[in-house]
Amino acid sequence: MASRREFFNAFRKPADLVSSQVSKEELVVRPPYGLSESLFQSECPSCESQACVASCEQEIIIIRADKTPMLNFSKTGCTFCDECAIACPSTVLDLEYEATAEKINARFRISTEGCVAHNGVICFSCKEPCIDDAILFNGMFNPIIDEDRCTGCGYCMARCPTQAISYIATKIDTMSNSE
């Protein structure tokens, strides 16, 4: 009889696939409260304080090689606590940017091949931490993400036992104009 760990590992994405996705430029997911990518590129590289990183209790803000912040959902998600925007010494992150205040520039997807629920196993690991009720199930199986409700917090991705949830980044400028 296979162990539970072996069962879930059968659905995991290969590690090299995950790391190759993260390294792509288009997958840069910024902290909330940002108005534009150009501000991240122009202001953040000269910031010595890295106050956004230090202020994040969830420890999901990391600094990239280009000295700009991004979010890492591998362990947990964003609570939209406002602390990164409050700590930001410039106007890159600002509570005044209402259109981006509680939305992260990421769209999440559930892989039907990797998701155990899509394969007939009862699993609500992604739904349980979703405070926005953005993950909907067709009965006990077949979860989908309601993009209108999803804030991109990343908790579903961090909690998925098979890493069946992935994301793509969206343009911050586009996101703020569509709200």
pLDDT digit string (tens) for 57-74? 999 999 999 999 999 999
pLDDT number for residue 138: 87
The C-alpha torsion from 77 through 81 and 87 to 93, rounded to 10°, is 70
Which of the pair, 179 or 131, is modelled with greater confidence?
A: 131
Q: How far apart are CA 148 and CA 3, in angstroms?
A: 38
Q: Is the pLDDT assigned to residue 122 strictly greater than 70?
A: yes
**pLDDT, tens digit, 9 for 90 and up, residues 124-160:** 999 999 999 999 998 889 999 999 999 999 999 999 9
Which domains are present in the chain? Answer: 1-24+107-171 (3.30.70.20), 30-104 (3.30.70.20)
Tokens 């990239």 locate to: 64
Task: Compute the half-sphere exposure of residue 14: CA atoms within 13 Å on the CB side of its CA.
Answer: 3
Q: Is the pLDDT assigned to residue 175 strictly greater than 80?
A: no
Percent of the chain at pLDDT > 90 equals: 70
| Residue 137 neighbours by CB distance under 10 Å | 15
Give the pLDDT mean for 99-127. Answer: 91
Percent of the chain at pLDDT > 70 equals: 79
**pLDDT, tens digit, 9 for 90 and up, residues 26-51:** 469 999 999 889 999 999 999 999 99
pLDDT number for residue 179: 39
Q: How far apart are CA 171 and CA 39, in angstroms?
A: 13
Side chain identity at 81, as an amino acid letter?
C
Q: How far apart are CA 41 and CA 103, in angstroms?
A: 20
